[in-house]
Amino acid sequence: MMSYEFLQQYWWLLVSLLGALLVFLMFVQGANSMIFQLGWNAESRRMIVNSSGRKWEFTFTTLVTFGGAFFASFPLFYSTSFGGAYWLWMLILFTFVLQAVSYEFQNKIGNLLGPKTFQTFLVINGLVGPLLLGGAVATFFEGSNFIVAKENLISSPIITDGVGAPIISSWANASHGLDALLNPWVLVLGLAVMFLAQVLGTLYIINNVDNEDIRSRASVRLVGAAVPFLIFFVTYLVHLLLIEGYAYDDTGVIFMKPYKYLHNFIDMWYLTVILLIGVVLVLYGVGKTVVSKTYIKGIWPAGIGVVLVVLVLLLCAGWNNTAYYPSTADLQSSLTLKNSCSSEFTLRTMFWVSLLIPFVLAYIIYAWRAIDKKKITSDEIQQDGHAY
């Protein structure tokens, strides 16, 4: 018999897995950010755009699914973060909308702005999107400025424009999420994710574009992205292991615990093992690609490694009696798996629905292989009437 606690842990695992897959799929943004660095003329830039353009739907769909899963399983987080920090999330959404428009219109007849303008929009998406998403993930550890008042559900509702609207959570300042970017540690993790996206983007271009000049440029750029990524990531990881964390006891009272995340890695040693495996896979994928001029499959070990590392970090943010969305305005408003989840009936019902996930993943793998059946070449771009 599945307990309520098991269902909470299970759904945090699924949400964390979706978040990890989203970070991996941001190789699309990473490739976009380097269009002008890897492409020296219109034809080479178009090859890069079509390489990433064949996968952008996967990233956007995963982002939407990630938000939907959070809404269904932990609705209080959804209302607090997506509803309170809406300026931050609106900026993220805007960059993705900008991406979709840029793919579709850059080579359309009647495009008065020219292809370079829309390619510049793709570069903006490639830089800003990962930076902001990485910053949003950092708030799981650094905290956000919000207040939760569940008693408003049973007290007199706040009347807005004549309509009863009981407000459970609210932002404690007028920035609505943008204040997170003032925290230097949020920016450190955001920059780590941005450079990680570029690492994955170069690995994907090397694997997917059959052009020696582009692959040569990408190999050089890979080193330029991997070094700052490692610096920012290791810096943030050390910071995470040394700071106080947000813990809660059996009664639900939240308190600050020294070295909380270090204790999480010790208590959940199996996650530490997975983290180390993930790091090794990332280093192997990058290192072998740099050393060997003929090795083009680095995206796969590195991609699997990224999924494992991000999955472990997100699990450490929520498991082992940890508040996964801390409040810097009111400690007891911090969100935990227990105080922010859906009802047991909802989680149990969705559990059975989640058993369909392997079939969805099988279809994604099939579609991916079908799309990548042929490598991107100059001739294919010229002959494909549906190319971007």
C-alpha 254/C-alpha 42 separation (Å) is 56
Please give the pLDDT value at position 225: 95
Strands (E), the chain: 146-148, 159-160, 163-164, 169-171, 245-248, 254-257
Please give the pLDDT value at position 155: 55
Please write the tens of the pLDDT for every residue from 143-164: 999 888 766 555 545 444 445 5
Torsion of CA 360, 268, 243, 22, to 10 degrees: -10
Token pair of 136, please?
A: 């949003």
Helices 115-142 and 42-53: angle between axes, nearest 10 degrees: 40
Token pair of 198, please?
A: 């570029």
C-alpha 379/C-alpha 358 separation (Å) is 36
Please write the tens of the pLDDT for every residue from 60-100: 888 888 888 888 899 999 888 877 788 888 888 888 888 88
Q: Which residues of the chain, if any, have pLDDT below 50?
A: 156, 158-162
Please, what's the b/e burial string for 242-275 (b: 16 or more CB within 10 A of its CB; e: otherwise)? Answer: ebebbbbeeeeebeebeebbebbbeebeebeebb
Residue 292 — φ and ψ, nearest 5°?
-100, 125
Please give the pLDDT value at position 32: 93
Task: With beta carbons less than 8 A apart as the criterion, state whether 168 and 148 touch.
Answer: yes
Residues contacting 203, CB < 8 A, separation 6+: 27, 222, 285, 286, 289, 298, 299, 302, 303
Which among 9, 182, 192, 180 is positioned nearest to 84, based on CA atoms? 180
CA–CA distance from 223 to each of 200, 282, 287, 288, 300 (Å)? 12, 13, 9, 12, 17
Token pair of 323, please?
A: 């508040």
Where do we find the tokens 């799981």? 140
Task: With beta carbons less than 8 A apart as the criterion, state whether 57 and 343 touch.
Answer: no
C-alpha 169/C-alpha 149 separation (Å) is 6
Task: With beta carbons less than 8 A apart as the criterion, state whether 258 and 311 touch.
Answer: no
C-alpha 167/C-alpha 170 separation (Å) is 7
The predicted model scores a pTM of: 0.91
User: Hey, is 255 helix, strand or coil?
Assistant: strand
C-alpha 90/C-alpha 308 separation (Å) is 28
C-alpha 326/C-alpha 172 separation (Å) is 13
Q: How many CB atoms lie within 10 A of CB 352?
A: 8
